[in-house]
Structures are given as structure tokens and as C-alpha cells.
């Protein structure tokens, strides 16, 4: 039975975070995502966006919930990792299940407390994503299809991201800094297209092993690449629908779409290896950054 040695927990959790929740990746994504969503919602309401203390609360809580999800995934995938990823911290004993669950409890209390300063509705909204995520391990244990089919698994797990995005948009609207109307849907769809492009890109390859759980294993390399590009196209359509750009600065959030186009050409021409990951990561960062700049300096 695993035990928790309290004096060692902060160091062990710190090592886990640096290994499995690389701050320069996850924190950067979480903060830019919140800024892009909130800023775009304000810009669509006719104002120039400026971050506030409430913005900092939203960004911190989204990052903490993403960490909560990462910790939950490590426990959910433990049996698979024992066979296929024996170097993972939970498998090696660098961290234990009780330690992760204790940290998850602390995260839940912290995000609830931070949002209590915003509103009771904000508390409910920030607790919905981890609550939904806690149901997923039981669902995957009960359903081999959900567990083994990558596309079905994505359809079941992705709503956590939708709930987090909804938290940002709805709390921004509740504070009066942005309007709550139909435009929140294509705005969330825009960010979903950007994120899901990266998700498909990192799981698209010409060759695969049985334990890789790639989308290209189901759709074929060309089919998976087509979906990755379609998601980018969908994001561009949402951007044009929302902002109706008529100037070069207004087109700024669309320009990063050139990166996936170049990556797709390289991948489809090579006919071996994996989808280039650097352009996919660059697309996520640059699109969100462009949305933030557009919100701060509206055309």
C-alpha cells in the first residue's frame, strides 16, 4: 500500500510537474488560451481588452485544472504505462497515487476559493471540468470501446476543454467585461480547432506501433492529415465569421494557418515518419498570441 511522507511531498510533486506538466508548455498554453478567449470576447463586445485581477484568477485556475487533469490521466493510464511507459513517475514510484490525489484535493480547494472572490456561479463553473473528468476513468474501465478507440475516446474526453473554455467566457460575461451571445460558440469553436489540430498532428504518422493509439491508425495517414488541416480551415472560418477582417492587421490570427499547410506538405511528400510537431506547436502559440494582440489593439 502506498503511503504519503509529508515532508517529501512538495519536492516529489515539483519533480512530477517538471517532468509531466512542463511549465513552458502547459502554463504558456493555459495562459494564452485564457487571454485569447477573454480578450476576444471583450473585443467582440466593442472594447479594447486589458487584463484585470479577475483575468489572473481565470488564468491561474485554468492552469491548475489542467494540472489536475494531468494528474488524473497518470492514474487512469497506470496499467497501460506499466507495460508501455515504464519510466513514468507513477510507475517508477517517483510519485504515488495518494500523493497525486492529495494534490488534486488541494487544487480543487484552491480553485474554488479563488473563484469565490468572483461569484458563486464562477465556483460552480470551475468545478464542472474536474467533476466531469473524474467520471472518465470509470467510463473507460466499463467500456473497452471508449478505452481503445482513439476517436471515440477523444469525443468523450474533449468536453473537459469545452467546459474550461465555457468557464472563461461565462465568467467574463458575468463580470460585465464581455457580452454573452451567440458569438461565444464560434469563438470556442475557433480555439477548439486550434487545439484539436495539435492533438491530431501529434498522433499522425505513416508508421505506428500497436500501443501508439494514433488517429492515423484509424483514419490512415492521409485521412488523419486531412482532418488536421480541416480543423485549421474551420478555425480560420470561425475567425473570419467573428471578426470580418478587412485589413492586414485584422487577418493576423489567420496567418499562422500557413504553418500547418507547410507541415502537411512536408508530411504528405515524405510518406514516412510523424507529422512535424514544431509547426503544430507554433500554430497554437501564434494563433492565440495573435488573438490577444487583436484584442489589445483592435483594428
Q: Looking at per-residue confidence, does 6 or 234 come out higher?
A: 234
Task: Measure the CA dihedral 28/223/258/40, to 10°.
Answer: -50
Contact between residue 291 and residue 253 where contact means Cβ atoms under 8 Å apart = yes
For 64-74, what is the mean pLDDT? 97
Contact between residue 97 and residue 12 where contact means Cβ atoms under 8 Å apart = no
The structural architecture, per CATH, of the domain 8-178 is: Orthogonal Bundle (1.10)
Supply 178's cell numbers.
464581455
For 184-206, what is the mean pLDDT? 96
For 198-214, what is the mean pLDDT? 90
Handedness of CA 173, 174, 176, 182 (dihedral sign): positive
Q: pLDDT class for 249, splitting at 50, 70, 90?
A: low
Please give the distance of CA 177 from its chain centroid, rounded to a whole number. 24
Where in the chain are the domains? 8-178, 182-299
Q: pLDDT class for 6, splitting at 50, 70, 90?
A: low
13: helix, strand or coil: helix
Percent of all residues in the chain with a pLDDT value above 70, rounded to a whole number: 97
Annotate 110-144 with DSSP letters as a single string: HHHHHHHTT-HHHHHHHHHHHHHHHHHHHHHHH-H
pLDDT value of residue 1:
44
For 51-63, what is the mean pLDDT? 97
pTM, to two decimals: 0.93
Domain 182-299, CATH number (from 1.10.3470, 3.40.710, 3.40.50, 1.20.120):
1.20.120
Task: Measure the CA dihedral 179/181/187/189, to 10°.
Answer: 150
Amino acid at each position: 500500500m502506498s503511503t504519503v511522507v509529508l515532508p517529501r511531498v512538495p519536492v516529489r510533486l515539483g519533480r512530477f510537474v517538471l517532468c509531466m506538466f512542463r511549465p513552458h508548455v502547459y502554463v504558456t498554453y493555459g495562459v494564452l488560451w485564457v487571454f485569447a478567449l477573454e480578450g476576444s470576447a471583450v473585443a467582440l463586445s466593442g472594447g479594447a481588452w486589458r487584463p484585470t485581477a479577475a483575468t489572473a484568477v481565470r488564468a491561474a485556475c485554468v492552469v491548475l485544472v489542467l494540472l489536475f487533469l494531468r494528474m488524473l490521466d497518470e492514474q487512469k493510464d497506470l496499467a497501460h504505462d506499466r507495460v508501455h511507459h515504464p519510466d513514468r513517475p507513477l510507475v517508477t514510484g517517483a510519485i504515488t497515487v495518494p500523493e497525486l490525489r492529495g494534490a488534486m484535493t488541494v487544487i480543487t480547494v484552491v480553485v474554488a476559493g479563488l473563484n469565490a472572490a468572483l461569484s458563486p456561479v464562477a465556483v460552480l463553473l470551475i468545478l464542472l471540468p474536474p467533476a466531469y473528468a473524474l467520471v472518465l476513468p470509470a467510463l473507460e474501465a466499463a467500456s473497452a470501446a471508449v478505452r481503445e478507440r482513439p476517436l471515440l475516446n477523444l469525443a468523450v474526453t474533449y468536453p473537459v476543454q469545452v467546459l474550461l473554455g465555457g468557464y472563461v467566457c461565462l465568467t467574463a460575461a458575468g463580470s460585465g467585461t464581455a457580452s454573452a451571445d451567440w458569438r461565444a460558440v464560434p469563438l470556442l469553436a475557433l480555439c477548439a480547432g486550434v487545439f484539436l489540430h495539435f492533438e491530431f498532428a501529434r498522433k499522425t504518422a505513416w508508421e505506428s506501433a500497436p500501443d501508439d493509439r494514433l488517429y492515423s491508425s484509424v483514419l490512415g495517414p492521409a485521412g488523419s492529415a486531412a482532418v488536421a488541416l480541416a480543423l485549421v480551415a474551420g478555425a480560420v472560418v470561425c475567425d473570419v465569421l467573428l471578426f470580418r477582417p478587412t485589413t492586414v492587421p485584422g487577418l493576423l490570427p489567420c496567418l499562422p494557418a500557413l504553418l500547418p499547410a507547410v507541415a502537411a506538405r512536408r508530411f504528405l511528400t515524405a510518406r514516412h515518419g510523424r507529422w512535424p510537431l514544431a509547426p503544430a506547436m507554433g500554430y497554437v502559440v501564434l494563433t492565440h498570441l495573435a488573438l490577444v494582440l487583436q484584442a489589445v489593439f483592435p483594428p
